[in-house]
Every structure is written in C-alpha cells, then in structure tokens.
Amino acid sequence: MNFFDKYKEAFEEYNAMEKDFIDDDKIWKQLNRAENPSKIDVRKVLEKAEKKMRLEPEEMAVLIQNKDIETINEMYKLANKLKKEIYGERIVFFAPLYISSKCVNNCKYCGFRKDNKMVERRTLNMDEISQEVKIMVDEGQKRTVLVYGESPETTVDFMCDSIRQVYDTKCGNGEIRRANINCAPLSREELKKLKETGIGTFQVFQETYHHETYRKMHPEETIKGHYRWRLYSQDRAMDVGLDDVAIGALFGLYDWKFEVMGLLHHTIHLEEKYNGVGPHTISFPRIEPAIGTPYPSDTKYAVSDEDFKKLVAILRLSVPYAGMILTAREKPEVRKEVIPLGVSQIDAGTRIGVGGYKKSEGNKFPDKEQFQLGDTRSLDDVIGETCRMDNLTSFCTACYRAGRTGEEFMEVAKSSFVHNFCMPNAILTLKEYLLDYASNETKIVGEKAINKHVNKLEDEKIKNFVLKALERIENGERDIRV
C-alpha cells in the first residue's frame, strides 16, 4: 500500500461530516461582540473564574478583548491564585526525546518538513534510544515525551517497541517513569496498541484551528493536510480508553485570539462528549526559526511577550483543571515571568535534535533540530531557579501509575488532590534528585524548599508519612509515593 493511502478509508468518517466543532465565523463573532469590555464585564467573568468553573467562549472573549491595565493585572493575580490552589506551589519537569526526524509531511513552518534538504534525516534504533535515555537519566530526568515524525519507519509497532525500550532502560537509581507520546494522528486500532504498551499522555497539536490557515500551512497531498483527521485525534484516543490526552496550538500561524478560542472550543467538545473529561494538558508554543525554513521569520501573526503572558493567564482562568505546559522554546527571562501566570509543567535540560543527548554540546546542531530553543540551560540550573522562586520541582508520575487518569483524575483534582497527593510526591521526587544528581548549590536551595513545603503540609498523617519517607530516601530507597 502507498503510505499516503494509509488512512484513506478512515478519512471517510470525517469527509462525511457536514461540519466539525470549530466554526471560524462563530469564533470571530464571539470575539467581535466582546470588543472593548467594561471593567464590570471583566470582573464578572473573573468572579466566575475564581469559583474554578470552566468559562464559556463568550466569557473567554471578554478577557481576550480586555485592554484595561488594572483588570489585566487582576487577571494575572487570579491566574496565579488558581494555579496554586489547584496544583500547588510546584512545577512538573520533563524533557522531550526526539526519536525520528524523517517525515512525509511538508508543513511550511517545520524544520523536519519533507522538502527541507538542510536537515539531517535520522531514526534512532533501539540501542541508540537506550543511550539517549541513559544520558537523560544521568542528568536526573524521570519524565519524557517521545517525539516522532510521520514516516513509513515510525509505525505504531516501532513506537511500541521504542516505548518499551525507554521503560526497560535503567541507570543507577534512575529510570524514566512516564513516557508521553507526541506523534501524528493514529487510527483507533493503532491507538489500542499504544494503550496496551502503557503510555502516559497522548499528545497531538492542531497547530492552527483556523481552517484556511491550516490548508495553507499543510499541503493537501500530505496526510497532515486533512484538518479533521487531526482535529479528532483525541476523540479516537478517548474512544479506545486512552483518557489522558493533550491539545495545543502553535502560536504565530494565525491570530492568537482565535487560537486561544479554538483551544477552549476543543476542550468543550471533549468535555461534552466524554463525561466532563477534557484535555489533561494544554500547550501553547510560539513559532521559532528553523534551519532551511524561512516562514517563521516573516509571520505577521507573531505573538508579543505581553500578549503571550495574557493568553497564558486567560487559558488558566478558562480551563482551571487542565495542566499547562510552557516549553523551552521561550527564553529564561520570559519563562520566569510567565510561569506564575498558571503554568504547571515545563521542560528543562532539553535537546531537540535526534540523538541530541549524546552530543556533549546539545542544541548547537541546527541541521539536526526541528526548531531553535530559547532556554538551553541545564536541568540543574532550572531546578535551582525554580526552588529560588518558591516552587517545588516535581518529577512525580504517581497518578499515571496508580491509574488516576481521565474521570478519576478530574474527580480527585477537584477535591484535596494537591494537598494529599501532588505536594507530598513533589517533595519526595525532588529529594531523590538532590541526593542523586544535584550540584552543591542546588542541593542547598532544594533542601530549603523541601523544609519550607513540608512545614506547610496541614494534614498530620500526610506530613508524618512524608517525613518518614524522606528518611527512607536518605537511606537509599527510591520511588516512594503517595
């Protein structure tokens, strides 16, 4: 079978649809109706957001169109408050592992696109995957997202083999405990295989929700050119029981206001169809330059730092129980300003080239990378800064391994989740890092952060468990979790 005909029959399900759940005209009408909102209008929406209720598109539009500095600062303050109340004073850390740069698609903005002759093409074999994982683990990583191009080499069976290879690779006290997947859209039968293998979150980004822009960016003769096949990726995953799904948009392809609305409409679609379960995480990367790829340098839809801060806060206020991922595409100074506005996950110590961890000077090989990074600091440097910002670094994977996903995750998240699970597990995983991998400087600030947050634990039973678990970790035990 020709590779491009792989999903030909599956496409028919979506070709037969009269329309999908993204209505471009409706989104613009919602935005236009909300132009120049009053302070009263904005504060009315913030009152609802403070109750940790998911906002409606018309309410999100009010926040998007708000230009009043006073109430924008109120938005920022509330976004920070909600993040702390729901997720606690912790940031979950991970790092991506690029498996393949071979791709049959031809996205105009991507360094891995098929026609780019300036990028080295490569797919890691199983031994090379183990080598990369060992380097990641030696640096202290415990969570990863595996990134695959779409090609005949990266079949679902290859993905399953690579996932098992990642989990089977051990190094000293360390291992990867959760592997999320970022790949091309898959069929239900393929997704069943991923579920059986045991993945964390299934992640597919729509890139842009605007239909016309999507067509311009993704040529029709490619698999990725099918808008609805991509749009309903998470539906197919949920249909087969993969209930940890992630959505995202690449900001800079079209107007950021529309894309933020698209993310909310996508969330609402999933919640309405799957008994209140929406995306586990939402990502909002900004487009960055890539070798041999001129598009990002001249986009008229580039998002300013101020608008970026605003859209992150709006997403936190609008979808309070979704995790929010800020990537190392952003420069350190931007990340420092944006994290308090609702971010719950970041990557650090990241290499984005295929085989990049094996290179001692990772992220300095543009012919191997999908795009350029803004934050190339080491994992240890970012953990140190996080501790100094009064946040705990967390490598926790307890919910995934205990089966707290989908509906169960949402139920626990809306109760005392942070205080009974997330914060204790963050403390314990940070302790592991400090003992096994940290620099002396990071050990000092990390221990201060642990002591501070242990003292903040209100439940005496949980607090006693954590204190005893810290002693057990000091004595050599690992992977203790609530």
Give the count of domains, the chain. Answer: 2
Question: Where do we find the tokens 């400090």?
Answer: 434
Token representation of residue 426: 């963050």
In the prediction, which pLDDT does 367 show?
Answer: 44
Same-domain status, 310 and 413: no
Q: Is residue 467 part of a domain?
A: yes
Same-domain status, 239 and 322: yes
Amino acid, res. 323: G
Same-domain status, 429 and 366: no
Question: Cα 144 vs. chain centroid, distance in angstroms?
Answer: 11
Same-domain status, 299 and 419: no
CATH number for 274 = 3.20.20.70
Q: Show which of 377, 398, 425 is a domain's final residue.
A: 377
Same-domain status, 258 and 315: yes
pTM, whole model, 2 decimals?
Answer: 0.95
Q: Is residue 308 part of a domain?
A: yes
Contact 244, 201 (CB under 8 A): yes
Same-domain status, 262 and 352: yes
Same-domain status, 120 and 160: yes
Q: Give the tens place of pLDDT for each residue, 148-207.
A: 999 999 999 999 999 999 999 999 999 999 999 999 999 999 999 999 999 999 999 999
Same-domain status, 116 and 159: yes
Same-domain status, 89 and 184: yes
Q: Is residue 392 part of a domain?
A: no
In the prediction, which pLDDT does 296 show?
Answer: 65
Same-domain status, 262 and 113: yes
Structure-model confidence comparison of residues 404 and 282, the more confident one:
282
Q: Is residue 68 part of a domain?
A: no
For residue 372, pLDDT over 80 is answered with no
Q: Is residue 34 part of a domain?
A: no
For residue 361, pLDDT over 60 is answered with no
pLDDT confidence band for 369 (50 / 70 / 90):
very low
In the prediction, which pLDDT does 441 show?
Answer: 98
In the prediction, which pLDDT does 289 show?
Answer: 80
Q: Is residue 435 part of a domain?
A: yes
Q: Is residue 327 part of a domain?
A: yes
Structure-model confidence comparison of residues 261 and 366, the more confident one:
261
Token representation of residue 359: 């290179």
Same-domain status, 342 and 200: yes
Cα separation, 120 vs 353, in Å, equals: 10
Domain containing 444: what range?
Answer: 406-474
Which residues, at least 6 apart from 23, have a Cβ–Cβ distance to it below 8 Å? none
Q: Give the tens place of pLDDT for each residue, 405-449.
A: 666 777 766 665 666 788 999 999 999 999 999 999 999 999 999
Q: What angle do CA 141, 385, 378 make, to 5 degrees?
A: 40
Token representation of residue 40: 């009263």
Same-domain status, 355 and 450: no
Cα separation, 296 vs 448, in Å, equals: 42
Q: Is residue 216 part of a domain?
A: yes
Between 66-75, 77-86, 339-348, 401-410, the lowest mean confidence (pLDDT) is in 401-410
Q: Give the tens place of pLDDT for each residue, 378-414.
A: 999 999 999 999 899 999 987 767 676 666 777 766 6
pLDDT confidence band for 294 (50 / 70 / 90):
confident
